[in-house]
Chain A
């Protein structure tokens, strides 16, 4: 087994380099290599040696069964890809080649001066990349399926007294988590032991049994943090908000031990709800102890049978779960594609409810402000036009956009210069820009009153913890400038500058980044499953904390890194990170982008916001 793999890999590496194929192939090779221990070491070796260990040995190897399989399946994939390409490249039509950032400003001569605000890019990968990615994934699955026969699970086995019970998991899930996900497990759930600020201290861990178990090695490593949702840099353990929180702990303790409908309210609640409403520019707001729960506890009470919901395909799990809990019908539309939405809206209204043909009771469109995996910003102006024409209601989840978008940090409405009252329900979380916990719903008095009466959260869940409320209100006041300083404005400006700079620089490197130029979430496409793994590992070695998203959280062939930019990042930190990304882009072949690049030097000082 191991012989086959190694030999096979060698052959492919030679072929790959001899024919000057795009370096994407390396990732695929790592896939093949991952399986056997010997080959794994070899792979790591080759990479730390600058990926050059095999370059010079040109001896041809006979084709083994496995490489024959590779070629066969890659051909099959190629055919598949060619014919079904449209299915995959739904984004490609949107990706007008343009220069990112300041370079593209020069080209702006459109009738709509705000067009740039919703300009986004989802550059489609080449056929070759998709084929190798799928192939790579197939290989990982095949080889791990083999290794499952050889190595029995070492930990986490079912209790003996449950023999004869129906299996708790289906076979594939178990296989995927035990044999596929386990191989890359070390790159997720990394424990930290400091505040998750712009720098974060990771607790180093090692595994002596191929990631079945981990042990702490006793050391820590300080990393530049490009992984936490710390958009405004409030993840700090000192400063005005921490002092205020401390005082609150002293007066209120950490919990009121009761739900808001019983004795779970304090003056802080009223203050925070009023402040949130004022901050967002709407009538009223209601707060809950968990952002995820804000969706899950409340959407079901607005929706009933006979309602129709249009949900963006990239919507967050909390939205999907809450729709599942409601009895409403659900239609999914293509990500940020207003044409698709309009077409589906028309059909839905014209046809009415299935079977009965009765008109729908109401239609709710659910979108997010900034999409956390795609880095795109909702096309709100177009959406509002649809809202007016088709009389639908709008629910915008601003988890990632509140604080991070708009000149005053008020989210996506302010970013587009739209009156927030035009949106029926604004939802957001306090976990990100405010470095706290919980979520809010905001809107007209009528809507919020209804939610207040009927929300599952006000009756069945304990109210928000007072110190956490205090953290939110102090940071919110800082953002609004009500603390008497311009600290909030400074952070917002810094964040915008950092985002622009970082995105422009990455684009110049030639990697594919997704989304809007002004979005704080920057996904960098890696595609290959095991390339993702190796890149994540290497980032850790170089003391940069980044997040990788692979299957099943992202589509199979769309593995990506995700950077979250913070106002706290200094130019030096960003430059260090960018330098490392540029290096890795060469080393691992991440320069997939075919767009024209801006050649000149991008200066931090000159970045326009």
Chain B
């Protein structure tokens, strides 16, 4: 019965019986195989000794290039945190005013959160011993996912065990090789890795420059006209950050959404910093610009910054988020988020929801600091960052070669450290697509008082005068 179709084809073509047909095909295969192995033999004409010779003579480079001296691993030489992270944080046993940790609401030291975390510890232990698929889904994971989705008024959320992998995996779950991604050139390193993993064509547009984006989109449209049927199948994405990690600026969401609708791009927003800190009730840039969340396809975020916990998440429609659960690599193939971190995130959101004033307070603090910095330090720094952003970047007013800027900023940070204030300088690897300019990163905690802010400003000013004096620098405005 199986042969029926075969026979008919056979008869039609060869007008021969089945046996002949089979025989011929077998002969043909044998012939091809002979040909193949003969060619192969001809190719590897080296004798065994010659091969061994080559192998003996091959000397690999060392696994790592070790031109640098060994790292000093004496803990005494490091600024080690020895207490909870809060406005006043202990470093090596001494109290410091903290403007360096991403702990905007102080949840890392919140007693309510702590109590719930300890209760959770006694119920679930520390780890989950498995990925989400294999008994690593705790009920509290589902609750937190529901909470996040409800908070944003979207359908579904998926939790990751690491903020980095949430952003990096989310992108490559959708964007594949033939696709095109338009991304802001200042996107953070996590997004850059996600772009790498997707292997799509990446088009960077200038930071927050909508004209440039439009020009690039227009260029692409022209390319598409050449092959419209292929162009129809190319997925297009636009990837931006709510508040940019590397500049503190807010994205221009309304313009982006308008352009993306026009050119049919899907919008992914990394709201690691903006979620919970921006918008009337802390619902991120969509709320801030009053844009319906349906205009955004995926919101990526992390529990690490505002919520003082760990892990990451994506929020979107079920249609979109479902894909994370099937092919988000960091979601499927890694143990799920530790229960204590899950509970810490949950407790933090609930505190935020109950205390609506908290968000307003943070915004006013951010605005105040912004004002103060611009007022008091404009001689030395240009302040980068949206006024309500909880992070501010301080760039030097004068531009100097990179390593000089770095040394100056380092000495400023060091001076402040001596005066018991910690500020941080983000470190970048040379793998960045567009190397960000060195800066001092200032993070704002909601509980910081005005006097503490003035103290910080005055110390920073002292630092600048001191350092500039030592470096014999003349600033443009002086």
Contacts and interface: CB of A to CB of B under 8 A. Distances in A.
B63 interface: yes
A258 B101 contact: yes
B68 interface: yes
B280 interface: no
Interface stretch (A19-27, A132-140, A385-393, A410-418): A385-393
A255 B137 contact: no
Contacts of B426: 262
A202 B123 CA distance: 14
Interface of B: 1-2, 46, 51, 54-55, 58-66, 68, 70-71, 73, 75, 78-85, 89, 91, 98, 100-103, 108-109, 113-114, 117-118, 121-130, 132-139, 141-142, 161-165, 168, 174, 188-190, 193, 196-197, 199, 232-236, 261, 264, 266, 294-295, 297, 304-305, 308-310, 317-320, 322-323, 325-327, 329-330, 332-335, 337-338, 340-341, 344, 422, 424-429, 431
A111 interface: no
A121 interface: no
For the complex of A and B, the 8 pairs showing the least CB-CB separation, nearest first, are A450-B64, A292-B334, A431-B335, A290-B162, A228-B129, A435-B127, A156-B318, A257-B101
Contacts of A450: 64-66, 68
Contacts of A200: 135
Contact of A263 (B101, B264, B304, B308): B101
Q: In the complex, which of the residues B59, B81, B308 has the most CB atoms of chain A within 10 Å of its own CB atom?
A: B81
A437 B161 contact: yes
A165 B266 contact: yes
A227 B101 contact: no
Interface of A: 68, 71-72, 75-76, 155-159, 161-162, 164-169, 173, 177, 181, 188-197, 200, 202-203, 225, 227-230, 235-238, 241-242, 245-246, 249-258, 261-267, 269-270, 284, 289-293, 296-297, 301-302, 316-318, 321, 324-325, 346, 349-350, 359-364, 389-393, 424-425, 429-432, 434-437, 445-447, 449-454, 456-457, 459-462, 465, 467-468, 471, 545, 547
A159 B323 CA distance: 15
Given A191-B139, A235-B125, A349-B58, A465 B338 contact: yes
B162 A292 contact: yes
Contact of A258 (B100, B309, B333, B428): B100
Given A164-B264, A435-B129, A437-B128, 5 more contacts: A193-B139, A195-B125, A228-B128, A349-B55, A460-B429
A228 B317 CA distance: 30
A452 B78 CA distance: 14
Nearest to A259: B427
Contact of A228 (B2, B130, B334, B427): B130
Contacts of A68: 1
Contact of B340 (A193, A229, A249, A284): A249
Contact of B334 (A267, A291, A460): A291
A237 B55 contact: no
A463 B142 CA distance: 25
B161 A290 contact: yes
A398 B111 CA distance: 38
Contact of B118 (A249, A424, A436, A545): A249
Given A159-B294, A237-B125, A453 B334 contact: no
Contacts of A162: 266, 297
A347 B329 CA distance: 32
Nearest to B266: A165
Contacts of B341: 254-255, 465
Given A318-B333, A325-B193, A349-B58, A471 B126 contact: yes
Given A255-B85, A547-B135, A262 B125 contact: no
A261 B51 contact: no
A161 B294 contact: yes
B334 A436 contact: no
A256 to B, nearest CB: 6
A84 B196 CA distance: 37
Given A195-B124, A346-B51, A168 B129 contact: no
B129 A263 contact: no
Contacts of A284: 73
B344 A255 contact: yes
Given A291-B335, A317-B333, A325-B196, A249 B100 contact: no
A423 to B, nearest CB: 11
A316 B332 CA distance: 11
A120 to B, nearest CB: 23
Given A166-B232, A169-B323, A253-B85, A189 B133 contact: yes
A122 to B, nearest CB: 22
A267 B334 CA distance: 27
Nearest to B55: A349
Contacts of A203: 139
B63 to A, nearest CB: 5
B80 A227 contact: no
B81 A256 contact: yes
Contacts of A452: 71
A456 B135 contact: no
Nearest to B64: A450
Contacts, number: 359
A158 B79 contact: no
B164 A257 contact: no
A456 B429 CA distance: 8
A257 B125 contact: no
Contacts of A425: 63
25 contacts: A155-B318, A168-B266, A189-B325, A190-B135, A196-B135, A227-B135, A228-B130, A229-B335, A235-B127, A246-B118, A256-B108, A258-B424, A265-B78, A293-B164, A296-B330, A318-B333, A350-B51, A435-B129, A446-B66, A449-B70, A450-B66, A451-B64, A456-B431, A460-B188, A465-B338
B171 to A, nearest CB: 12
B195 to A, nearest CB: 10
A324 B65 CA distance: 22
B338 A468 contact: yes
Contacts of B344: 254-255
A525 B161 CA distance: 30
Contact of B101 (A237, A256, A468): A256
Contacts of A202: 135
A460 B55 contact: no
B329 A321 contact: yes
Contacts of A270: 73, 75, 78, 80
Given A196-B128, A258-B424, A434-B127, A462 B63 contact: no
B60 A393 contact: yes
A350 B71 contact: no
A192 B427 contact: no
B142 to A, nearest CB: 6
A82 B450 CA distance: 81
Contacts of A158: 317, 319
Nearest to B142: A191
Nearest to A164: B264
A181 B326 contact: yes
B80 A196 contact: no
A124 B228 CA distance: 49
Nearest to A187: B133
B238 to A, nearest CB: 12
Contact of A251 (B59, B84, B236, B320): B84
Contacts of A157: 319
B126 A302 contact: no
Contact of A159 (B100, B121, B319, B424): B319
Given A346-B55, A391-B60, A454 B422 contact: no
Contacts of A316: 333
A258 B85 contact: yes
B123 to A, nearest CB: 6
Nearest to A447: B64
Contacts of A437: 126-128, 161, 335, 337-338
A225 B136 CA distance: 12
Q: In the complex, which of the residues A253, A262, A547 has the most CB atoms of chain B within 10 Å of its own CB atom?
A: A253
A318 B169 CA distance: 11
